[in-house]
Structure 1
Amino acid sequence: MTDARLLGDDEAAFIAAARSNDAAQFALITERYRRELQVHCYRMLANYEDAQDLTQETFLRVWNKRESFKGHAALRTWLYRIATNACLDFLEKRNDRTPVPAELPDPGSEVLYLQPYPDRMLPEDPQESVVARETIELAFIVAVQHLPPRQRAVFILRDVLGWPASKAADALELTVASVTSALQRARVTMREQLPDRRLDWRSPATHELSNDERGVVKSYIDAHERNDLDGLMSLLRDDLRFAMLPEPGTSVITAKDAVDGWVSGGLFQRGHDDWRCITTTVNRMPAAVLYLRTPDDPEYRLFTIAVLHIVDGKIAELTGFDATDKPWLGLPPTL
């Protein structure tokens, strides 16, 4: 590592814990980095459960490599290096962690392994929270998945975390020239994937929902609970992008076709017409959590979570996820 710096408190404490094999002190020091490392792994992998596993793998590797840390770099830098390479090793072994072709009017592909990221698990550090929204939103996470793994790592280290080329090269055991070339190629792909989004991800951006977004979510929930199909239709753009993951079949459809499709699939029909909904946020995006009560059930049971991308007062993208069997979302199973 090349960071020119004095030995900090964390670094000194970590070295002392490593030398004494003090597992409790080691855990105390490293645990404070868990949330930001998990977000980093999520950006690399687009899957919350994988990110959890790889964060734990990172800590195992850190413990096994503890004696190699000499404090020449910040502990945070060293941890990110290990986490990044753990993710790269994971991706090298998995052939099911790449986007698959989508049947869309325009060329595209789907990330079927995408999972939502609960906001309550995001880092509490103010600076990370400021930049997190646009680099944790679903569209950004999906776009990053279209980069080859090492190019993806370069892009995240350089353009999201703001690392200098030399530091990224050292972490990935590449030359500075290779890092620069990979970053240039990654930026081209990201512009293709996100043509309507800003491309300066390191500058501050608000992470708060707007009043417009809150109003649309409230109207979406009201319409859902009242089985108001016209009301739902009025909230959707006529070029709505809709997906229900992990099922394949992302589509760009009109508002009417979207609602007609939901009805023909059984929603808002008898047995699927008694809804209660709550609002939440995942990936710094507004979301509605849908609970369904069937005729013979006294309780409303967790059904799906609809993550909404809202543009000019209309829902431009609706990504649905099966919300059952995902305790990490922190949602009550019944209402």
Structure 2
Amino acid sequence: MARTDLMSRAQAGDGEAFRALTEPHRRELQVHCYRMLGSFQDAEDALQDTMLAAWRGLERFDGRASLRTWLYRIATNRCLDTLRSARRRPAKQWDIPGVEPPEPTGLGEVHWLEPYPDALLDGAISVPLGPEARYEQNESISLAFVTALQILPPRQLAILILRDVLGFHANEVADMLDTTVESVKSALKRARAGMQRRLPATAAREQPPASGSPAEDAIVAKFVSAYESADIDALVALLTDDVFMSMPPIPLEYQGRDSVVRFFAFVFGTIQRFELVPTRANGQPAFGVYRHTPTGIRGSGIFVLTLAGDRIGAITRFENTVLPLFGLPQSLPSAQ
């Protein structure tokens, strides 16, 4: 069916035609909302709002911009509304009664961060980019990058993603945000400076091995072996000197090998047996983490590893509420 015919039918109220027009863009729009909001659930809510607004406003679509650009305009402004409303899940306090973790080296600002399952990235980060995109798509979905984005003021955040990640022209971005090209350029300059302040240490690290490569598999296998056997010495050997650990929505952060090792020594001393189930998040190796308890093997969360060369440069731990996003159960069957 010709695209013009689909558009005519959709503008006349044909829901099937609307879905046929918008479905090819749905996944990339969800990733766009995720980059802006840092939360999978917030991104899904923003995507639903975007599609509803597009459906209600389609009769006003005049074709001056492409349908894809028009949808990005709606999605970006829905995300900006969310950011300005400050509807964020609150930070969560450490919640194991009678058990106090080691003193953290800092408290995280981006406690609403959630992981994005790699299984949903197919077709979302292989979209054609504009000529002015500055980042590789895999880099721009990494946890370090998405976290750094969250520190930017909302308008700078939107402009940097639209210009440097997706490669839209300055005049297209100005139209999306109802502003001037000069304002876009000025905000982009400030946003780039902000990202540079946030990411310099990450940029200086060794590059991670290729996804699914033997080198990546070797590091992952060593981590699983060390963690499941509670072998603190083997774990130490895998960490960079400046390794960083965070655990949103709990704001505790641990910077440096000694600090991270103290945390894991505390964990291994409190809970002796774990099982790790492999998955992937944000283009990085990840695991569902399960702990043995008297009543069964219970899911305690997701670990996402940031690799640097042949070692681990960061570990991000998310709570067990995100397990279903990865198709992982809340508990594992006990061995008979």
Q: Name the TM-score class by shorter chain.
A: 0.7 to 0.9
Rounded to whole Å, the distance in 1 between the matches of 2:310 and 2:189 is 35
Question: Where does residue 202 of structure 1 map in the other structure?
Answer: none
Question: Where does residue 228 of structure 1 map in the other structure?
Answer: 231
Q: How does 1:114-129 map to 2 (within 5 A)?
A: 114-124=113-123, 127-128=126-127
Which piece of structure 1 moves more, 220-229 or 137-146? 220-229
Judging changes above 3 Å, is the alpha-carbon distance between structure 1 residues 176 and 198 closer, same or farther for their aligned structure 2 residues? farther
Consecutive unaligned residues in structure 2, runs of 5 or more: 92-103, 130-135
Rounded to whole Å, the distance in 2 between the matches of 1:207 and 1:38 is 25
The offset of 1:47, in angstroms, is 0.3
Q: How does 1:288-307 map to 2 (within 5 A)?
A: 288-297=287-296, 300-307=297-304
Question: Where does residue 259 of structure 1 map in the other structure?
Answer: 261
Q: How does 1:8-157 map to 2 (within 5 A)?
A: 9-10=2-3, 12-94=4-86, 96=88, 104=105, 110-124=109-123, 127-128=126-127, 131-157=136-162
Check the 8 A contact 2:301/2:323 in 1, yes or no: no
Which AA in structure 2 matches 1:316? G
Question: Where does residue 273 of structure 1 map in the other structure?
Answer: 272
Rounded to whole Å, the distance in 2 between the matches of 1:181 and 1:44 is 19
Check the 8 A contact 2:163/2:169 in 1, yes or no: yes
The offset of 1:193, in angstroms, is 0.9
The offset of 1:208, in angstroms, is 2.7
Check the 8 A contact 2:210/2:216 in 1, yes or no: no
Per-residue CA deviation, residues 252-307 of structure 1 (Å, 9 max, x unaligned), is: 1324x42332333xx3246x22222122210001112211121342xx22222111
The offset of 1:116, in angstroms, is 0.3
The offset of 1:20, in angstroms, is 2.2
The offset of 1:9, in angstroms, is 4.7
Question: Where does residue 309 of structure 1 map in the other structure?
Answer: 306
Rounded to whole Å, the distance in 2 between the matches of 1:183 and 1:280 is 35
Give secondary structure in 2 for the equivalent of 1:281.
strand
Give secondary structure in 1 for the equivalent of 2:272.
coil
Check the 8 A contact 1:15/1:71 in 2, yes or no: no
Give secondary structure in 1 for the equivalent of 2:252.
coil
Rounded to whole Å, the distance in 2 between the matches of 1:330 and 1:84 is 28
Check the 8 A contact 1:98/1:111 in 2, yes or no: no
Rounded to whole Å, the distance in 1 between the matches of 2:324 and 2:315 is 22
Give secondary structure in 2 for the equivalent of 1:302.
strand
TM-score (norm 1): 0.85
Q: How does 1:128-207 map to 2 (within 5 A)?
A: 128=127, 131-196=136-201
Per-residue CA deviation, residues 10-29 of structure 1 (Å, 9 max, x unaligned), is: 4x245212332111221232
Rounded to whole Å, the distance in 2 between the matches of 1:207 and 1:124 is 19
Which AA in structure 1 matches 2:119? R
Question: Where does residue 329 of structure 2 map in the other structure?
Answer: 332
The offset of 1:96, in angstroms, is 4.2
The offset of 1:239, in angstroms, is 2.1
Identical residues among aligned pairs (%): 41
Check the 8 A contact 1:155/1:183 in 2, yes or no: yes
Judging changes above 3 Å, is the alpha-carbon distance between structure 1 residues 281 and 33 closer, same or farther for their aligned structure 2 residues? same
Question: Where does residue 3 of structure 1 map in the other structure?
Answer: none
Rounded to whole Å, the distance in 2 between the matches of 1:129 and 1:177 is 26
TM-score (norm 2): 0.84
Check the 8 A contact 1:292/1:301 in 2, yes or no: yes
Consecutive unaligned residues in structure 1, runs of 5 or more: 1-7, 200-204
